[in-house]
Amino acid sequence: MFADLLAHDPVIELAPMAGVTNRAFRRVCREASADIRQRAGQVDSDHTIYVAEMTTSQALLLRHPETLSLVTFDPDEHVRSIQLYGVDPDIVGRAVAMVVDEDMADHIDLNFGCPVPKVTRKGGGSALPWKRDLYSDIVNTAVRNANGKVPVTVKMRVGIDDDHVTYLDAGKIAADAGVYWVALHGRTAAQYYGGHADWNTIARLVEHIPNTPVLGNGDIWSADDAQRMLVETGARGVVIGRGCLGRPWLFGQIRSAISGQEVPAEPTAGIILDLLKRHAQLLVNMHDDEFYGCREMRKHMAWYLKGLVVGSETRGQLGLINSLAELDDLLAPIDRDQILTPEIANSPRGRTTPTKKVNLPDGWLNSQTMTASEQSTVREAELSVSGG
């Protein structure tokens, strides 16, 4: 499957997003993307990789129920794709072996890109590649334990900040280890989700590791953006994060663009509202709890309704829904014939933040190799995990 992707199509990948890319969201993306292409009279040939939420290696080994639910897939997910996070080579390696031995997934992505403080302050995510020895140990152990049975890929950022850039060294280490591809988000950890992604870094990585595919991530809000990234960087694929929030059909539009077909127009408000309701129903089904599923749906409301005339009072009430019946009642009066303008549809969405200092373990930047005390700190951080 993965060989076919790289041989015939640029790769399109859904970026794992905590609290978002669960089974319900992944299904909505698959259905909406197929539907928008079929409405345009195009044959759907979607080979998109829809990655599940980040899973903590230690919690997976401990078989926490919540963590196991993160790596549960619908029967028709043609590629079961998970992302593992960890800061200890042995634990990450054992988690990879568990996934392979128990046939839990078809693809394992390693997280070296998360910029959130609770991850970086333990030396994880986008902070970890600064420690070349630790990073190399984790990647090499993961590839070795996958034993050629499940492809391992890496997701990373440019570096910690402009003074501590890691992506070229990290990309080369990953390529030498034998990863299937390297995905680069063109931002540093300090940028978080603010500013603009630097696509030039993606192009430089493509040149730096010519024998390993590179996927580009950052500021892809439209099919045109995805096409431009491929042309401007030479990347073999694109990774879509915030751009698909409230626009699960974006993957279908991108597939059309890179296949040389006309990009399907944005759906009408009626189709969007039906997708919103479908998403809510899937969340309720997934949790087997109507209140909990509706509560989870609240975060998606503003994303789906961006650019639609809804009314401030209705928007406020939708952010507090407790039942599917309540959702139906609130959506009923909205004009279903509204059309999203391309300017609104393709505008940035999701969280944005200013550049800020990255929260790191004490003395982390003093050296690019691990000290004995840092090794102990990392081990304790990994073992302290109690959930996914």
Residue 277 and residue 257 share a domain: no
User: How high is the pLDDT of residue 3?
Assistant: 63
* 291 domain-assigned: yes
Contact assessment for residue 112 and residue 154, using Cβ atoms and an 8 Å cutoff: yes
Average pLDDT over residues 44-50: 79
Residue 334 and residue 217 share a domain: no
Q: What are phi and psi for residue 155, nearest 5 degrees?
A: -120, 130
CATH number at residue 40: 3.20.20.70
Residue 185 and residue 317 share a domain: no
Average pLDDT over residues 87-111: 97
Rg (CA), the chain: 21
Domain residues for the domain of 372 are 2-265+354-383
User: How high is the pLDDT of residue 248?
Assistant: 97
Residue 276 and residue 129 share a domain: no
Residue 388 pLDDT greater than 50, yes or no: no
Residue 106 and residue 31 share a domain: yes
Residue 9 pLDDT greater than 70, yes or no: yes
Where is pLDDT greater, at 237 or 352?
237
Average pLDDT over residues 346-352: 76
DSSP H helical segments within 73-184, as ranges? 89-101, 117-120, 132-146, 167-177
* 138 domain-assigned: yes
* 345 domain-assigned: no
pLDDT in tens, 218-266: 999 999 999 999 999 999 999 999 999 999 999 999 999 998 999 999 9
Where is pLDDT greater, at 233 or 6?
233
Residue 356 pLDDT greater than 90, yes or no: no
Residue 347 pLDDT greater than 60, yes or no: yes
User: How high is the pLDDT of residue 386?
Assistant: 39
User: How high is the pLDDT of residue 224?
Assistant: 96
* 388 domain-assigned: no
Residue 368 and residue 321 share a domain: no
* 243 domain-assigned: yes
Residue 60 pLDDT greater than 90, yes or no: yes
Residue 296 and residue 259 share a domain: no
* CA dist., res. 337 & res. 312, Å (int): 19
CATH number at residue 326: 1.10.1200
User: How high is the pLDDT of residue 387?
Assistant: 38
pLDDT in tens, 110-151: 999 999 998 898 899 999 999 999 999 999 999 999 999 999
Residue 299 pLDDT greater than 70, yes or no: yes
Residue 154 pLDDT greater than 50, yes or no: yes
User: How high is the pLDDT of residue 340?
Assistant: 83
The token pair that represents 43 in the structure block = 């044959």
Residue 183 and residue 94 share a domain: yes
Q: Using alpha carbons, select from 112, 137, 110 the residue that is nearest to residue 123.
A: 112
Q: Is 40 exposed, middle or buried (0-12, 13-18, 19+ CB in 10 A)?
A: middle
Residue 274 and residue 146 share a domain: no
Count of the separate structural domains present in the chain: 2
User: How high is the pLDDT of residue 39?
Assistant: 87
User: How high is the pLDDT of residue 226?
Assistant: 97
User: How high is the pLDDT of residue 343?
Assistant: 79
* 281 domain-assigned: yes
* 200 domain-assigned: yes
- Burial code of 185-204, b = ≥16 C-beta within 10 A, e = fewer? bbbbbbbbbebebbbebbbb
Quick count: other Cβ atoms within 10 Å of Cβ 84? 24
Give CA angle at 363 (352, 376), nearest 5°: 105
Per-residue pLDDT band for 316 (boundaries 50, 70, 90) equals: very high
Q: Which of 29, 114, 244, 294 is catalytic?
A: 114
Residue 172 and residue 33 share a domain: yes
Average pLDDT over residues 332-338: 96
Residue 241 and residue 298 share a domain: no
The token pair that represents 113 in the structure block = 């890109």
User: How high is the pLDDT of residue 118?
Assistant: 87
- Our answer to whether residue 294 is catalytic in this structure is no
Where is pLDDT greater, at 13 or 259?
13
Instruction: Collect all residues with Cβ–Cβ distance below 8 Å to 289 and sequence separation of at least 6.
Output: none
User: How high is the pLDDT of residue 5?
Assistant: 62
Give CA angle at 109 (191, 279), nearest 5°: 80
User: How high is the pLDDT of residue 46?
Assistant: 65
* 306 domain-assigned: yes
Residue 375 and residue 290 share a domain: no
Give CA angle at 197 (138, 241), nearest 5°: 70
End-to-end CA distance of the chain: 28
* CA dist., res. 324 & res. 318, Å (int): 11
Q: Using alpha carbons, select from 51, 32, 77, 49 the residue that is nearest to residue 253.
A: 32
Q: What are phi and psi for residue 164, nearest 5 degrees?
A: -135, 70
Residue 67 pLDDT greater than 70, yes or no: yes
Give CA angle at 146 (143, 152), nearest 5°: 55
Mean pLDDT over all residues of the chain?
Answer: 92
Contact assessment for residue 297 and residue 330, using Cβ atoms and an 8 Å cutoff: no
